[in-house]
Structure 1
Amino acid sequence: MTPNASPVIEEDALIDADPDDVWRRVADPRAMSRWSPQVLRTRVTTQGPVGVGTRMRNLNRGGLLLWTTHAQVVRFDPGVEFAIKIRENRTVWSYRVEPVSSGTSRLAIRRETPDGVSRIALRLERLFWRSVPRFESRLRAGMRTTLSRIKRECERTAHARD
């Protein structure tokens, strides 16, 4: 493990929507720019349906900074989990959907560092955000924003059907 990086950062939310509807949304990587305060655009660079092995390129922002990352789907369990690994920093980001009760879901966003975080990523975090903990605090806040936006979109659709 790389020192100074949290092995896991996770946030979750209860969503008043059917788990299948929540899943359909989070399993579409192109939709991330609607929710994430960091992702401006995602371009899937492989053909066919999204699944393990699908590759994508993301344009990200943090304040005035813009940067590109390359990702590959590493876990894809339909209706349950969608996870991508970011090549540049070696982190794994996942979305997990769980039914809670009839018409209610729990959605968790998780960032894992199973192979540590690359040295260059840690240096950049220290350079641009002054510390790794400060950068991770930003990530956690971004996760909460993302969850809030997904929740709003899912619940608006669910309530429109009622």
Structure 2
Amino acid sequence: MPSVSRSRLIAAEPDRVWRLVGDPHGLARWWPRASRVEDVIGEGGRARWTLVLATEKGKPVRLDYRATGSTEGRRYAWEQQLADTPFERILRSAELELELEP
């Protein structure tokens, strides 16, 4: 399965970064093309939510996610729910993981 890895150095305290990336409500503040987050249910490694993105033409696209793991202050992992969506035709899975290092 193909995978992509990215690394970024952020000049901020890890706990400040975690408050932004460790909560689905914060995704719209930093995720490319994200316009809003809806229907957040649960928290931490048990959360589910819908991320609404805007295409280049401004059309809203809804993506449903489920958290798959969380280590407070260090790691947050989630996967896109693909069943019965247009993405099911082109993706076998879509898993994301953020890991913070001091």
TM-score (norm 2): 0.78
Picking from 57, 63, 66, the partner of 2:56 is 63
Do the aligned partners of 2:23 and 2:44 also contact (CA within 8 Å) in 1? no
Query: Is 2:25–2:40's contact at 8 Å kept on the other side of the alignment?
Result: no
> Structure 2, unaligned stretches of length 5 or more?
83-90
State the superposition RMSD in angstroms: 1.6
Residues in 2 aligned to 1:44 and 1:84: alpha-carbon distance in whole angstroms? 15
Deviation at 1:37, TM superposition (A): 2.2
Matched, 1:25 2:1: no
% identical aligned pairs: 25
Structure 1 or 2, whichever has the larger Rg, is 1
Gaps of at least 5 residues in structure 1 are 2-6, 100-162
The answer for the alignment partner of 1:79 in structure 2 is 73
* Paired letter, 1:36: W
- Paired residues, number: 92
More helix by share: 1
Aligned residue type for 1:53: R
Distance 2:9 2:39 in 1: 28
Q: Residue 87 of structure 2 corresponds to which residue in structure 1?
A: none
CA contact (8 A) 2:28 2:36 kept: yes
- Give the alignment's TM-score, normalised by structure 1: 0.52
